[in-house]
């Protein structure tokens, strides 16, 4: 649902991300580890790792720290 509205939704500054990828990015920006994200979302840590890899690729950044910096610059956050 969110991904389909990404182009028109001002709450998502990264329309290239799926809803799940955006959620993972926001939780990364909140300082959560892959294990914590997995537990919160009810998915495996490997699936989180795959989402993180997709986020890095789609944002054109080299590592998690750069992705988090981009998210924070865009004021992306999720409640923990």
Q: Is residue 68 part of a domain?
A: yes
Q: Is residue 10 part of a domain?
A: no
Please, what are the averages of pLDDT over each run of 10 residues along the chain (80 residues)?
A: 41 90 95 97 98 98 97 80
Specify the pLDDT at position 11: 67
Specify the pLDDT at position 9: 52
Tokens representing residue 26 in the block:
């926001």
Q: Is residue 30 part of a domain?
A: yes
Helix, strand, coil percentages, rounded to 5, for the chain? 60, 0, 40
Q: Is residue 79 part of a domain?
A: no
**What is the extent of the structural domain holding 51?**
16-73
Q: Is residue 5 part of a domain?
A: no
Specify the pLDDT at position 27: 96
Specify the pLDDT at position 77: 73
Q: Give how many domains the chain has, as a whole number.
A: 1
| Domain CATH code at residue 51 | 1.10.10.10
Specify the pLDDT at position 65: 97
């Amino acid at each position: 649902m969110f991904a389909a509205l990404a182009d028109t939704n001002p709450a998502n500054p990264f329309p290239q991300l799926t809803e799940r990828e955006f959620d993972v990015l926001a939780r990364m920006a909140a300082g959560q580890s892959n294990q914590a994200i997995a537990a919160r979302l009810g998915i495996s840590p490997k699936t989180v790792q795959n989402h993180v890899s997709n986020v890095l690729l789609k944002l054109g950044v080299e590592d998690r720290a750069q992705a988090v910096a981009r998210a924070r610059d865009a004021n992306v956050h999720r409640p923990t």
